[in-house]
Copies of this chain bind each other. A is one copy, B any other.
Amino acid sequence: MGKKVKTAITPTRNEDYPAWYQEVVKASDMAEHSAVRGCMVIKPWGYTLWENMVSRLDEMFKKTGVKNAYFPLFIPKSYLEKEAEHVEGFAKECAVVTHHKLEQDENGKLVPAGKLAEPLIVRPTSETIIGESMAKWITSYRDLPLLLNQWANVVRWEMRTRLFLRTSEFLWQEGHTAHATEQDARERTMMMLDIYTKFVQDYLAMPVVQGNKTESERFPGAVDTLCIEAMMQDRKALQAGTSHFLGQNFAKGSNIKFQSEDKEEQFVYTTSWGSSTRMIGGVIMTHGDDDGVMMPPKVAPSHVVLIPIIRKPDEKRKIMEYTQSIADALSAKDYAGRRLVVEIDDRDIGGARGWEWIKKGIPVRAEIGPRDMDNDSVFMGRRDKSPQEKESLKREDFINKISDILDDIQNNMYNKAVAFRNENTHEIDEQKEFYEFYTPKDKGIHGGFVHAHWCGSAKCEEKIKKDLSVTIRCIPFSSRTEQGKCICCNSTSSRRALFAKAY
């Protein structure tokens, strides 16, 4: 690169990655902090991205027979006490409702009143309450499988927050299924992981590694936790979805039994799986550059912005008509299963418009001035190319090729992310090299992914975590049986694990 190019976002990723992230979220108009500690306001540009993600994922869930339901926001404190694991996992930091009204005191100030007999917790997950419903709803093999999902807001009190990545309130989905046999439940666990994988790779253009969590990283109560791990541009890992096989543990805790075809009473086998607005953080950190966010076309809030350039008032009517005709033609088309969304930005703020849309990450911009109109063309810029690189396209070509252009952008984004991930993924066999690899050199650079041998002991895992803040992200499904020595204790190992620093 050599000479310093002026960029829209300061600082750049290389200068200060965490600060770049905060800035890029703000500059893209996706979200902002609210006056309420730890909670965010998701602005229309960010929320529309989420809606597009939800609608596609939801469709994929439903194709496999999953149905949505809605469970109460509040969990009685006693539900959390029932499950010791919950107390450990969630109960520590949560929003506690203790009163059900406000009253004015003698100074006219509002004070909490109407103390509840039992405090209520704002759901950190709906697991316990869904378990209670399952126990009620399932009596016979005819009720199985029961395939439930919920889209909702959840709260886990956070002291240090980062928009989308870590906020006290966030939006997510949690799926919970119950099955008659272990095999059915295990197949469902894998099926949902495959859906997350397909969605994240094909729609969010984020390559992921599929694998199993180690025992210490597993979800409390799970027999097996499957996950997908993506690499951000600071080379840290982000878990983009998890799917748990819970065996009969959850069924025993919540007393979910059914009568089998041969009239035997048995516990069901359950699964659970979830994904959240954190994925939006992943999209930003995978694709964003020093000019702003880059929206994958398949989930972009809008696909194309048309920017009429009007220098003389008497040109206005004709240019606006020409612009509108292009917008109409584009808006009649479908892309990736939904209508193409086209914006016309005719604000009287000149060239600032182009930069605003670059920061927001819209896939395609098209400027339309008098000369473009006279040539029956548009002047197109793509978000995956540099802001200066624009080309003149005949109107008909632009309209006819828009799907190809968007596909090309989507594919470029994915391929670039794969290349970056591969470049920063290594096999390391020597402890010294491993420790050097993860010793911070530049601000915000975190080594990368390392496939290294691990003996399987929680002690070694813990030591590496303590020494380097590096964790085993997963045992990748792709990890072959292979003789080696544990990167920590040097004892025999038959498989490599995937190590990384993580969000």
Contacts and interface: CB of A to CB of B under 8 A. Distances in A.
A320 interface: no
Interface string A115-153: 000011110000001001100000000100000100011
A77 B99 CA distance: 13
Interface residues of A, number: 64
Contacts of A67: 44, 47-48
A81 interface: yes
A71 B34 contact: yes
A69 B47 contact: yes
A390 to B, nearest CB: 25
A385 interface: no
A102 B69 CA distance: 28
Contacts of A81: 109-110
Interface stretch (A88-96, A235-243, A252-260, A429-437): A88-96
A95 B69 contact: no
A102 B98 CA distance: 12
The copy count of this chain in the complex is 2
B35 A47 contact: no
Contacts of A72: 34, 36, 39-41, 169
A100 B94 contact: yes
**For A34, A50, A70, A76, which residue has the most chain B Cβ atoms within 10 angstroms?**
A70
A151 to B, nearest CB: 9
A102 B73 contact: no
Contacts of A152: 153
A101 B96 contact: yes
Contacts of A100: 93-96, 157
Nearest to A39: B72
Contact of A42 (B69, B109, B132): B69
Interface string A44-73: 100110110000000000000001111111
B102 A80 contact: yes
Interface of A: 34-36, 39-44, 47-48, 50-51, 67-77, 79-81, 87, 91-104, 109-110, 112, 114, 119-122, 129, 132-133, 142, 148, 152-153, 155, 157, 169, 171, 347-349
